Copies of this chain bind each other. A is one copy, B any other.
Amino acid sequence: MKRIAIIDIGSNSIRLVLVQINKNNFFSVIDELKETVRLGKDMTIYGGLNPLRIEQAIKTLSFFKCLCEAQNVTEIIAVATEAVRKASNQVEFINRVRSELGIEIRVLTGTLEAYYDYFGNVNSMDISNALLIDIGGSSTELIWVEDRNLKASISMPFGAINLTERFSLYKAMDEKTEKDLKEFIISLYKDIPWLKEIKNIPLVGIGGTIRNIAKISRKKNSYPIANLHNYRTTVEDVIEIYNMSKIKDYTERKKIKGLSKDRADIFLGAAGAVITLFEFLDLKELYVSGCGLREGIIYEYILQGNTPLEDVLGFSISNHIFNYEMNSNHAYQVWKLTECLYNDLKSILNIDKDCCKILKTAALLHDCGVRISYYDHHSHSFYIIANSKINGLSHREQLMAAYIAALHRKNDFKIDLDKYEKIINEEDIKVIEKLAILIRICENLDGGVNSNVSGVSCDIEAGTVIISVKSKTDPILEINQALNCAASFEKIFGKKLNIKSSYF
């Protein structure tokens, strides 16, 4: 176990992320801090960082260093982006931080910044093909991902802060200003040769502007899940948010529900850049990502190289199993048995879509609620699965997995369908109930948590399903416990459940 810190010296804010790294590269974020220092603002006429803002940056970094020491951090990785990258007094700033604080800042090129955005996302989202956009304070990266590879990328020298300064966007936007803003941005997009080749892929958005668009959208649509990672919305929704914002000045914008007060001043230009990209490429969907540069650095560190994870969901689940200190033997045993039932019973399950990812998540994490308390742990499992950052699942898949896990002990957990109607429907509930009964049977078949039952296979007869159980010792009590599911099984599938043992 070790703890590292990532310090991200951006043009708008300086951020600290403390990461605990455990065996097998499992990790968890244990603290995060942000100071809105705005190094990219009020730069001197010679293109240097403003001395007052340098002082504030030094104080912030000093505080972050104290926090790292208090938290037993053994390694600090500090990177800086556009504001420092272009600053004429870059070297003085870096030297001062080194001599006063002993922190070595690595100034990233635009290409490397884009690469980390790519690497953070390819390891945390279920995307093969996408266009990523990361709008920062003073730069914006576009990254084209094809078959999970980085096909092309660019870093452009505009962001939320310098667009605001250049087009005076503290006040409401008039038609002329909007036209100028869009023309400026389009002229930059037009200069990117590969950009016009992009068609019909989702736009994945990274950074504070995107997160704020998502927060406004979530409030506007009464969306019931707090997790922003993997939030999805349409171009129409984003345009509506932009149109609603552009007619407000800074003070009025501060009242927009979901928009952070310390971003209300610099929101408009960056939102305009997103809209312009949507229109320029005729894209339809925005996927919000909670991962970017900092996660890219974390994954590079733990994977020790640039080969992405092969199985994003599998790693994410294993990471949660480790971090939640679950009994992984039992978890994998229940999943192994459940997968057999799922495959053998396909004809009576009668489910259109492949639910393997959902079922795997539910089977492996069904007991995670014990982390809160053994009592009512099935309900706690629902809460944790629904509210965790599970990479590689959509919110719908995640919610379905949560509900399945909540039903792993008995039927009496009821989801508030009114609350979640935007995400799952009555049909999904039927699928959930079918899948939950499979896990409940297998959870009972490993009731001794000793993998006594090592395998199952099914025979489907006219009125009965027979599960044959292989075991090391007499599995009579496991079978008895599993047979408590027989009434529910019959209600759902219209067939009796019989479980027999080949053990003598």
Q: Which residues of A contact B (CB under 8 A)?
A: 28-33, 59-60, 62-63, 66-67, 69-71, 226-227, 290, 370-376, 379-380, 383-384, 387-389, 447-450, 452, 476-478
Contacts of A447 in B (CB 8 A): 33, 63, 67
CA distance A384 to B377 in the complex (A): 11
- Most B C-beta atoms less than 10 A away, residue of A60, A70, A384: A70
Q: Is the CB of A477 within 8 A of B63?
A: yes
Q: Is the CB of B374 within 8 A of A450?
A: no
Q: Is the CB of B449 within 8 A of A67?
A: yes
Contacts of A376 in B (CB 8 A): 226-227, 387
Q: List 30 A-B contacts (CB under 8 A).
A: A28-B374, A29-B373, A29-B374, A30-B370, A30-B374, A31-B374, A32-B374, A33-B447, A62-B477, A63-B447, A63-B448, A63-B477, A63-B478, A67-B447, A69-B450, A71-B449, A226-B379, A227-B375, A227-B376, A290-B375, A372-B372, A372-B384, A372-B387, A373-B388, A373-B389, A375-B389, A376-B387, A380-B387, A383-B383, A383-B387
Q: Is the CB of B29 within 8 A of A59?
A: no
Contacts of A29 in B (CB 8 A): 373-375
Contacts of A379 in B (CB 8 A): 226, 387
Main secondary structure of the interface of A (DSSP, over half): mixed
CA distance A184 to B364 in the complex (A): 52
| Residue in B62, B372, B478 whose beta carbon sits within 8 Å of that of A388 in the complex | B372
Contacts of A383 in B (CB 8 A): 372, 383, 387
Closest 5 CB pairs of A and B: A70-B450, A63-B477, A29-B374, A66-B448, A70-B449
Distance of A10 from chain B, by nearest CB (Å) = 18
Contacts of A374 in B (CB 8 A): 28-32
CA distance A32 to B374 in the complex (A): 8
Nearest chain B residue, comparing its CB with the CB of A258: B412
Nearest chain B residue, comparing its CB with the CB of A368: B372
